[in-house]
Structure 1
Amino acid sequence: MKRLLGWLGRSQAAEVTEAQQARLDALPTPMAPDQRPLQEQRLVVLDLETTGLNTNRDHVLSIGAWVIEDGCIDLGTRYESTLQGDHKVSESILIHGLAPSTIAAGLEPAEALLDFLDFLGDSPVIGYHAPFDQRMLARSLKSNLGYELRHRFFDLAEVAPMLCPQARIYKGGLDAWVEYFSLEVLERHSASADALVTAELALILFSKARQQGINSLAALDEQLGSWRRRQTAHSL
């Protein structure tokens, strides 16, 4: 039996089976930033590949995620899936190396997203240009499962220039920071590979944060708020 969940009051609805709803009901409440040391946090580093950059129209193609726990990347724990779809071939799909046959053979979107939510648990999320991934993921979760994403996202595209102003990389992409910190990258442009690079950058930045007396996610969140206000004031 399937249940219909209304989506933001619109006529669209997500069809959710009883088994899927049970999995949704069992999910933990997302964790807010707290005062625990960064080394004690479980964080999920996320990257999405999408059909394009329009958060209202484009679709999630694949999800890649790694876990940072006890101050290290857990190389034995990752999430990676391609979401099934009939998307037309586009430049974005070609860049990601995802053939139409691969996408057609992917996991059913609701099941892939549920698997990711199980992997995510209550952990905060780290990403590069994280607001884009956050909006794309939230839309996909809402349309496929009727689920409202409430997890806290931290954007390394903000954290890096805040902690390393001497780099003078103000609006650079991930590659700019990879080059700045001389990170060795064996693979790029898949969700899992990009998430792993982002995780490596996160560990470097957390070390920089601790050197500056920022020892917890709550402190990092507070510093980011102050940094954003200064950036807004300077732009006026």
Structure 2
Amino acid sequence: MSLFAWLRPRQIEDSVRQQVSELPTPAPLSEDTLRRQRWVVLDLETSGLNTNRDQVLSIGAVVIEDGAIDFGQQFERTLYQRDHKLTSSVLIHGLGPSAIAAGCDPADALLDLMAFIGDSPVLAFHAPFDQRMLTRALKDHLGYRLQHVFFDIAELAPLLNPQITLREAGLDDWTACFGLEAIERHNASADAMVTAELALVLFSQARRQQLDSPVLLDQHLQRWRRRRHQSHGF
């Protein structure tokens, strides 16, 4: 692909634009209880870690509602990527050329995902990465601007457990810490599910710490971030 072709904006069909216009608007964070909030737990598998160049290859998501994982609300898609190049990342996520070739159209998958998310806030482990990758994919394929609130489980875990010292802890570290175990790692759906299980543990802790609403949890998280930045001299 030439540089000029790469820079040229992708043409988005009118039918896609119409469907995008019908997607729900994200709701502001609620002051109601964590239990009454509908949450969407998201995980992406990608061709690499470069948020400016790599592609979303698969998406897994599950809903937390009424204080529990709703197994009737699960989302899974593998995306067809025409320009996908085989890299060493396939050794991690296992999505080889045949799986990608059999994937669905990215625009269709992303429309389905945003309809699934609806107006809910999103939870993810290392959420900034997923948020940036999803933001670019939505812009490229749908001309859609992602505005949903993301909570990072990788931040909430140490925030609510200051007594636990885990340096640069990953998902495996925190799930093991609470006796959880993923059915399969680096599979978007399985990772979303175990992240949801971890989120429920953290929500239980948040309630005990009088942080029983999305707004209170977000405010506490913002203060925690400021203190960390100050302590690191930023």
Alignment partner of 1:21 out of 4, 10, 17: 17
SS at match of 1:166: coil
Give how far 1:11 is off: 5.7
SS at match of 2:227: helix
Does 1:112 find its partner at 2:115? no
Distance (Å, rounded) in 2 between the aligned partners of 1:15 and 1:145: 9
Distance (Å, rounded) in 2 between the aligned partners of 1:61 and 1:177: 25
The one-letter amino acid of 1:18's match is D
Does 1:43 find its partner at 2:39? yes
Distance (Å, rounded) in 2 between the aligned partners of 1:115 and 1:143: 16
Alignment partner of 1:209 out of 190, 206, 211: 206
Distance (Å, rounded) in 2 between the aligned partners of 1:58 and 1:185: 25
Distance (Å, rounded) in 2 between the aligned partners of 1:197 and 1:231: 27
Q: Is the Cα–Cα contact under 8 Å of residues 33 and 217 in structure 1 kept in the other structure?
A: yes
Distance (Å, rounded) in 1 between the aligned partners of 2:69 and 2:215: 21
Distance (Å, rounded) in 1 between the aligned partners of 2:8 and 2:164: 46
SS at match of 1:53: coil
Q: Is the Cα–Cα contact under 8 Å of residues 182 and 191 in structure 2 kept in the other structure?
A: no
Distance (Å, rounded) in 2 between the aligned partners of 1:64 and 1:94: 19
Write out the 4+ residue segments of structure 1 that deviate beyond 2 Å after TM superposition.
10-19
TM-score normalised per structure 2: 0.94
Give how far 1:13 is off: 2.3
Report what 2:50 is aligned to.
Answer: 54
Identity %: 56
Question: After alignment, is 53-62 or 161-170 more displaced?
Answer: 161-170
The one-letter amino acid of 2:129's match is F
Distance (Å, rounded) in 2 between the aligned partners of 1:167 and 1:71: 25
Distance (Å, rounded) in 2 between the aligned partners of 1:54 and 1:18: 30
Does 1:193 find its partner at 2:190? yes
Distance (Å, rounded) in 2 between the aligned partners of 1:126 and 1:170: 21
Aligned residues: 227
Give how far 1:155 is off: 0.1
Report what 2:178 is aligned to.
Answer: 181
Give how far 1:17 is off: 2.3
Does 1:159 find its partner at 2:136? no
Q: Is the Cα–Cα contact under 8 Å of residues 123 and 150 in structure 2 kept in the other structure?
A: yes
CA RMSD of aligned residues (A): 1.3
TM-score normalised per structure 1: 0.93
Alignment partner of 2:218 out of 200, 205, 221: 221
Runs (5+) with no aligned partner, structure 2: 1-5
Distance (Å, rounded) in 2 between the aligned partners of 1:189 and 1:162: 25
Q: Deviations over 1:54-77 (max 9, x none)?
A: 001111000000000000001121
